[in-house]
Amino acid sequence: MKQVQEDKVRNIINEIKDLSMDIAVFRDEPMSEHTTFKCGGNAALFMQPHTEEELVVISDVLERYDVPWYVTGNGSNLLVSDSGYDGVIINTLGLRSTGDEISFFSENPIEGDECTGIRVRAGVLLSRVANAAMERGLTGLEFASGIPGSVGGAVVMNAGAYGGEISQVIGNTTVISSGGKSEILTKEELKLGYRDSIFKHERHICYEVDFHLKKGDRNQIKATMQDMNEKRRAKQPLEYPSAGSTFKRPEGHFAGKLIMEAGLAGYSIGGARVSEKHCGFIINAGGATATDIKNLMDHVAKKVFENSGIMLEREVCLLGDFG
């Protein structure tokens, strides 16, 4: 793989360090430590900003040096190739611990409405936001409590579960666009679709998100969250590294059922296996390489097509060179 020019990397690091900001910078960072699949090679450079200002600076610097970059949250929908990523990872998880990363606001202050809006930084974990909402007796984010992603990743993927979806609760979203320009996108401008959003088609970094919730009963909200999470534990192979559902749900079908009907439950390539507990999940059953997982994804899609005539579409994002 062609290396991001050594002098560019050194200059970027020096420029960031000269700013005396709190940006964490790591060279040759193993992405297996930043993805829930727990595999994949190194990123040439890995950066964790903590504030909007730092995010803007990084975006500006990377634009000027013209190096490839990619944003990650909790890496729970991401497979990085074994040869790694020859570019810069901007990881948002540093944005979750500034002290003001979750705030509540009133949606109708003139009438003295109670606070039913939550403003959250992109690096905050969804489970934490769902819990914060529950503690305030706010309903709408119960579905998100068991999704192991960051708020930013959830918006990009328009994550959903048990009939709930980010598109049902999202409002304005602050993004950093190319060259470090901060702008606010409305819900309509986010173009949310099934596991799809504007972020999949245009280069923006999701920085901060407004959720619009409703007053509810705290105990009821808590019980609903517990019920959903018990269902997850019963039906999903949470004891293994994975990225959740490997494929999108084809209209009128369930990917897991199609995979089971193709006789692929438990089918393995290297350390990658089709979960027998939930065929929609490809798991790292032990020592899987990213190549094992990608090859298994391709094999599953081919066999399902041969068996059912339905072409499965990958939900998991790929990063790096898969040959």
Just list the catalytic residues.
195, 245, 315
Under rule CB under 6 A, residue 280 binds ligand FAD: no
Under rule CB under 6 A, residue 164 binds ligand FAD: no
Select 72 or 291, whichever has its Cβ closest to ligand FAD: 72
Nearest Cα neighbor of 164 from 224, 215, 206, 123 is 224
Q: Which of 32, 150, 224, 284 binds ligand FAD (CB under 6 A)?
A: 150
How far CA 212 is from CA of 136, 196, 205, in Å, comes to: 13, 20, 21
Q: Which of 74, 145, 224, 275 binds ligand FAD (CB under 6 A)?
A: 74
Under rule CB under 6 A, residue 199 binds ligand FAD: yes
The H or E element containing residue 225 is: helix 218-235
Using CB under 6 A as the binding rule, the residues of this chain from 235 to 254 that contact ligand FAD are 236, 238, 242-244
Shortest distance (Å) from residue 119 CB to ligand FAD: 15
Under rule CB under 6 A, residue 149 binds ligand FAD: yes
- The contacts of residue 109 (CB under 8 Å, 6+ apart) are none
Under rule CB under 6 A, residue 59 binds ligand FAD: no
Burial status of residue 218 (CB atoms within 10 A of its CB: 0-12, 13-18, 19 or more): middle
Give the position of tokens 């190549």: 291
Would you give the end-to-end CA distance of the chain in angstroms?
Answer: 11
Angle at 197 (CA atoms; ends 194, 198), nearest 5 degrees = 155
Shortest distance (Å) from residue 309 CB to ligand FAD: 26
Using CB under 6 A as the binding rule, the residues of this chain from 103 to 132 that contact ligand FAD are 122
Sign for the CA dihedral angle at 165, 170, 174, 178 comes to positive
Q: Which of 42, 48, 77, 246 binds ligand FAD (CB under 6 A)?
A: 77
Shortest distance (Å) from residue 197 CB to ligand FAD: 9
> CB neighbours (10 Å) of residue 117?
18
Q: Using CB under 6 A as the criterion, which residues of the chain lie in contact with ligand FAD when the complex forms? A: 36, 70-78, 92, 122, 147-150, 152-154, 156-157, 159-161, 199, 205-206, 236, 238, 242-244, 317
